[in-house]
Amino acid sequence: MIELKNISKNFGKLNVLNNISLQFNKGECIALIGPNGCGKTTLIKSILGMVLPNSGEILFNNQNILNSVEYRKNIGYMPQIGRYPENMSIGQVIDTIRQIRMHETASDEELMEQFKLPSLFDKKMHTLSGGTTQKVSATIAFLFNPDVLILDEPTAGLDPLASEILKEKIIREKEKGKLILITSHLLSELDDLITHIIYMQDGTVVFHKHINDIKRETGEERISRSIAQILRKQAV
Amino acid sequence: MNKIVKFILLDILKNKIVVLYTLLLAVFSWSAFGMEDNSTKGILTLLNLILLTVPLIAILFSTIYIYNSSEFIELLLSQPIKRKKIWSSMFVGLITSFILAFTIGAGIPLLIYAPTNVGLMMFAIGIIISAVFVSLAFLSSILTRDKAKGIGIAVLLWMYFALLFDALVLFLTFQFGDYPIEKMMVGITATSPIDLARIMVLLHLDVSAMMGYTGAIFKDFFGTPLGLSIAFALLVLWIAIPYWISLRLFKTRDL
C-alpha cells in the first residue's frame, strides 16, 4: 500500500534518513521504534509530504506522492504535539477540518463520543490541557475513516483511561484491515497492538520483522524484553 | 469564502492584541481630529502616528502568528490541501483582519472628519501599508525556523523602513546637497513603502508647498496621474514580491 524506495534526507550536514526502503501493506500495524533523533518522525513526515526527501520516491497505492495531495484523503494523522489556533473552540476546529474534507460523508465519531468531547465543544483551544488537546488530535485522525492511520506518539500525555480507549480503537481499526503506523518509545504499551516492528537507528532501518518472528527468535513473550535482548546482542 | 481564511479570520478577530490595536487606532484618530479644529492638521498628526504604529503592529503580530501556527499548518498539510492554498489562506486571513482593524479604528473617523481626497488617500494608504507589512512578515517568518530570529528580522525590517531609512536619506541630502540630487531622491523614495506612502499623502495636502525645490520635483512626479499610478503600482509590488518569495520558499520547506 505504501512503498518507500531508497529514501534519503539530510538537514544540512546531518543525515537523517539514509537510503531507506520499506513496504507497508493493508492490515498491518507497524511500530516504528528507535532512540530519539533516529529519524522516525522525519520518515512519517516524508510519507505525509511535509518533509521532501532529497532522493528516492514514495508510492501510495502505486502512485508517486510527489506533487500530489489527493492521496492524503486516505490518511489520518495524529501529530506528536498538537497545537491549534488559540481562540477557536474544539467544535470550531473539528467543524473546519470537516468542511475542508467536505466530500467525505462517512465520519467516525466513536472516539469523539468515548472521549466525551461534545460536552467540551465550546472550550477554547488555549484553555485545554495537553491530554485534551491530544484527544482532539486523535479524534481528527480517526474522523474520516481513513485507510491509513499515522500516529506519532499517540498515547503520550493521555491518561490511562483515554490511552486504553485509543488502544482499543486502534485494534478495532486494524481488524478492519487498515494500515496503522505508530511511533512510540513505550514498548510495553504496544504489546497487544502491533503486527510488525521497525527498529531504526541513525537514519537506517536496523530490522523490519513480524512480531511472531521476533518472539520466536528471542524466546520471549513480551515485546519489550525481546527488543532489549536483540539490542543487547547487537551491542556485543 | 474559503474555509481556512474564515477560520483564521475568526481566530485573529478574537485575539486581544488585535482588539487592542483597533481601540488604539480609534483613540488616536478621534483625538487627532477632535483636538484640531482643522482637518488638515488632524490628518498630519494622524499620518505620523499611523506610519509608525501600523507597520510595527502588522509585521510583529503577523510574524508571531505565523510561528505560532506552525503545528496547525502541519495539521492542514496532513489533509488533502495544497501548500499554496494553506499559505495563501493565511495571507488573506491576516491581511483581511488588519484591513478590518484599520477600517474600524481609523477609517471611520477619517471618513467622518475628512471626507475629502486626502482623507480617502489616507484610508487607502493605511490599508496598503498594513498589507505591505503583513507581506514582509511572511518573508521574515519563512527565512528562519527560529521564532526569536524571525521576530528579530521583523523588528529590523520595521526599524529600517520606519527610522533608519529617513536617517539615510537625510545623510545623503547633507552629503550631496551641492549636487542636483532632487530627481534621484524620487527614485530612492520608491525603495521604502513608508516614505512612498508619506509623500503620497503629503502631496495631497497644501503643505507640500513648504517642502522647497525637492517638494516641487516630487509634486511634478507624484502629483501627476501617471506618477500617482506608478506610486500605487510600486506599493502593490511591495505587497506582492515579499509574499511571492515566501510562497516559493514555503513550497519546498520541510516542516
* pLDDT score for B71: 87
What pTM does this model have?
0.90
Report the pLDDT averaged over residues B133-148. Answer: 94
pLDDT in tens, B76-121: 988 888 999 999 999 999 999 999 999 999 999 999 888 888 889 8
pLDDT in tens, B173-196: 888 878 877 778 778 887 889 988
* pLDDT score for B49: 87
Residues of B in contact with A73 (CB under 8 A): 80
Domain of residue A192: give its range: 2-235
Helix (H, G, I), strand (E, B) or coil at A57: strand
Domain layout of chain B by residue ranges: 3-251
Task: Pinpoint the alpha helices (H) of chain A.
Answer: 40-47, 90-100, 110-114, 130-142, 160-175, 211-218, 223-235
Do the beta carbons of residue A111 and residue A137 sit within 8 Å?
A: no
Pairing of strands A63-64, A75-78: unpaired
Q: Which residues contact A150 (CB under 8 A, 6 or more apart)?
A: A44, A47, A48, A75, A76, A77, A78, A141, A181, B78
DSSP A124: B
> How far, in Å, are A146, A156, A170, B163 from residue A178 at the CA level?
8, 22, 9, 59
C-alpha cell at A181: 503506523
Long-range contacts of A113-119, Cβ-Cβ distance < 8 Å, separation of 24 or more: A114/A165, A114/A169, A115/A139, A115/A162, A115/A165, A117/A90
Instruction: Report the C-alpha gap between B59 and B65 in whole angstroms.
Output: 10
Instruction: Report the C-alpha gap between B53 and A138 in whole angstroms.
Output: 42
Q: B128's torsion region: left (phi>0), alpha (psi -120 to 50) or beta?
A: alpha
Strand partners, A180: A29, A149
* pLDDT score for B38: 80
Instruction: Report the C-alpha gap between B250 and B86 in whole angstroms.
Output: 10
pLDDT in tens, A58-71: 999 888 888 888 88
Strand partners, A179: A148
Question: Which residues in chain A come in under a pLDDT of 70?
Answer: 103-106, 235-236
Instruction: Report the C-alpha gap between B239 and B248 in whole angstroms.
Output: 15
* Residue with the larger pLDDT of the pair B91 and B215: B91
**ipTM for the complex?**
0.86
DSSP B209: G
Instruction: Report the C-alpha gap between B147 and B141 in whole angstroms.
Output: 8
CATH number for the domain including A204? 3.40.50.300
* pLDDT score for B37: 77
For residue B62, the distance in angstroms to the closest alpha carbon of chain A comes to 13
Instruction: Report the C-alpha gap between A149 and A181 in whole angstroms.
Output: 6
* pLDDT score for B22: 95
Q: HSE-up of B33 (CA within 13 Å, CB side)?
A: 18
Instruction: Report the C-alpha gap between A214 and A209 in whole angstroms.
Output: 7
End-to-end CA gap in chain B: 27
* pLDDT score for A105: 59
Interface contact flag, A101 B79, Cβ < 8 Å: yes
DSSP string, A78-111: E-SS----TTSBHHHHHHHHHHHTTT------HH
Chain position carrying cell 507497524: A30
Instruction: Report the C-alpha gap between B196 and B227 in whole angstroms.
Output: 11
Radius of gyration for chain B, computed over Cα atoms and rounded to the nearest angstrom: 19
* pLDDT score for B48: 87
* pLDDT score for A68: 85
Q: How many CB pairs under 8 A join A and B?
A: 75
Q: Which residue of B has its CA nearest to A94?
A: B7
* pLDDT score for A104: 57
The residues on A that touch B, with CB distances below 8 Å, are 11, 45, 48-52, 69-73, 75, 77, 79, 81-88, 92, 96-97, 99-101, 137, 140, 150
For residue A29, the distance in angstroms to the closest alpha carbon of chain B comes to 20
Helix (H, G, I), strand (E, B) or coil at B149: helix
How many separate domains does chain A show? 1
Mutation site for A-interface testing, chosen from B18, B74, B78 by largest number of A Cβ within 10 Å:
B78
Helical pair B212-222 and B182-189, crossing angle rounded to 10 deg? 60
Interface contact flag, B75 A79, Cβ < 8 Å: yes
Instruction: Report the C-alpha gap between A71 and A78 in whole angstroms.
Output: 16
Instruction: Report the C-alpha gap between A29 and A24 in whole angstroms.
Output: 9
Interface contact flag, B72 A85, Cβ < 8 Å: yes
Report the pLDDT averaged over residues B11-32. Answer: 92
* pLDDT score for B209: 60
Mutation site for A-interface testing, chosen from B9, B69, B75 by largest number of A Cβ within 10 Å:
B75
End-to-end CA gap in chain A: 36
Report the pLDDT averaged over residues B19-25. Answer: 95
Do the beta carbons of residue B107 and residue B126 sit within 8 Å?
A: yes
* pLDDT score for B233: 92
C-alpha cell at A18: 539514509
